[in-house]
């Protein structure tokens, strides 16, 4: 199982752009398989531009964005930018996309959150041919597109959908390269996420999908303190319908209950459980624990030691 790190908006907002690029380079030097950043940051950095810059300063590590909301950006515009970023990273860019959530789209962007599964299906139907073939003709309910996207370079650009619900998992298996999840615990990955997306991919004649599991992560000897911190820091995710659904499948009430928290041996066992359940990647959103000033560094080092060993 590949192991990566995700710098969430609350951390990325504290960095300068140079600081973010330095952190990505350090993660590559430390052997991590991937580095992920959010698309939306209060500092206003464009994630794909930042990752294109990072790609020119690194040579091996995969660089992912998690995730670009589909409603505010036309799929042809995103395809053009993704192709540029994929070229700058020599094919190491991972494009995460998804419809996001109703409050963010309707209250933030003022865009109707209309039929997200169909919108995502049409989005992929436009964007994927542009990335792979350079042209698309598509007529649907959301998009009517007849375009060519000429390019001398067309590196691979895997697309992962933030698929959690059955319809989204089916279309991700049929049209994308996998899913990137958030707040999905081990039971949900094994019994819900992996079987559905894998079956859809197989029935469509596609390769086995990537299942990238993203979770808050903290290595500590005081698991109770870690979960209390997570309960406070990540409470808002339990209020969003899409995440509430997978928490209910897991049989838990709080996002803190699915976070990867514990000492080094416990974290190893938790990651092994995810791998056994079909996860191909684990992406850690490391968080600090008050009163443990070295907690983030301990978590980072513990994960570093697991790269290539799960």
Q: What pLDDT sits at residue 45?
A: 82
Q: What pLDDT sits at residue 14?
A: 61
pTM over cut 0.85: yes
Looking up tokens 């907690």 gives 295
Looking up tokens 């990540």 gives 234
No. of helices (H) and no. of strands (E), the chain:
13, 11
Residue 114 token pair: 């209309």
DSSP category for residue 73: S
CA distance 128 to 130: 5
Q: What pLDDT sits at residue 102?
A: 86
Can you name the CATH fold of 163-310? TIM Barrel (3.20.20)
CA distance 171 to 121: 6
Proportion of the chain above pLDDT 70, given as a percent: 96
Instruction: For 40-57, write each residue's pLDDT tens digit.
Output: 764 578 999 999 999 999
Q: Which long-range contacts (CB under 8 A, 24 or more apart) does 100-107 make?
A: 100/67, 100/69, 100/70, 100/71, 100/162, 101/240, 101/241, 101/242, 102/241, 103/240, 104/69, 105/69, 105/71, 105/72
CA distance 63 to 39: 12
Looking up tokens 């209910």 gives 248
Where on the phi/psi map is residue 297: left (φ > 0), alpha (ψ -120 to 50), or beta? alpha
CA-CA distances (angstroms) from residue 73 to 39, 70, 136, 206, 243? 12, 6, 17, 27, 23
Q: What pLDDT sits at residue 11?
A: 63
Q: What pLDDT sits at residue 43?
A: 59
CA distance 169 to 228: 31
Burial of 251: CB neighbours in 10 Å, binned 0-12, 13-18, 19+: exposed
What's the chain's average pLDDT?
A: 95
Strands 260-262 and 210-219: parallel
Q: What pLDDT sits at residue 140?
A: 97
Q: What pLDDT sits at residue 13?
A: 55
Q: What pLDDT sits at residue 151?
A: 76
283-300 residues labelled b (16+ CB within 10 A) or e (exposed): bbbbbbbeebeebbebbb
Q: Which residues of the chain have pLDDT under 70?
A: 9-14, 41-43
Phi first, then psi: give them for residue 159, nearest 5 degrees. -115, 125
Q: Are 288 and 298 in contact (CB under 8 A)?
A: no
Instruction: Please state whether the peptide bond connecting residue 244 to the residue before it is cis, i.e. omega within 30 degrees of 0.
Output: no
Looking up tokens 């499948």 gives 249
Q: What pLDDT sits at residue 250?
A: 98
CA distance 178 to 193: 10
CA distance 15 to 21: 9
CA distance 33 to 19: 20
């Amino acid at each position: 199982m590949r192991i990566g790190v995700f710098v969430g908006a609350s951390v990325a907002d504290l960095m300068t752009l140079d600081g973010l690029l330095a952190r990505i380079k350090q993660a590559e030097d430390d052997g991590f398989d991937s580095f992920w950043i959010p698309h939306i940051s209060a500092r206003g950095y464009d994630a794909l531009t930042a990752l294109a810059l990072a790609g020119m300063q690194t040579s091996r590590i995969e660089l992912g964005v998690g995730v670009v909301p589909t409603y505010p950006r036309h799929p042809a515009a995103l395809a053009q930018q993704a192709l540029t970023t994929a070229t700058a990273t020599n094919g190491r860019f991972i494009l995460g996309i998804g419809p996001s959530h109703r409050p963010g789209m309707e209250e933030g962007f003022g865009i109707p959150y209309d039929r997200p599964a169909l919108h995502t299906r049409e989005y992929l139907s436009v964007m994927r041919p542009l990335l792979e073939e350079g042209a698309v003709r598509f007529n649907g309910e959301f998009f009517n597109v007849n375009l060519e996207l000429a390019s001398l370079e067309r590196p691979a650009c895997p697309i992962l959908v933030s698929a959690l619900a059955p319809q989204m998992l089916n279309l991700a298996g049929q049209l994308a390269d996998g899913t990137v999840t958030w707040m999905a615990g081990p039971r949900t990955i094994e019994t819900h996420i992996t079987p559905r997306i894998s079956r859809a991919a197989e029935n469509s004649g596609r390769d086995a999908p990537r299942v990238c599991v993203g979770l808050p992560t903290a290595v500590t000897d005081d698991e109770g303190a870690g979960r209390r911190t997570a309960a406070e820091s990540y409470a808002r995710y339990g209020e969003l319908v899409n995440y509430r659904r997978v928490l209910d499948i897991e049989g838990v009430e709080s996002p803190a209950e699915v976070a990867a928290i514990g000492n080094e041996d416990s974290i190893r066992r938790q990651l092994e459980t995810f791998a056994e359940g079909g996860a191909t990647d684990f992406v850690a959103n490391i968080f600090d624990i008050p009163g443990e000033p070295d907690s983030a560094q301990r978590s980072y080092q513990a994960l570093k030691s697991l790269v290539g060993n799960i």
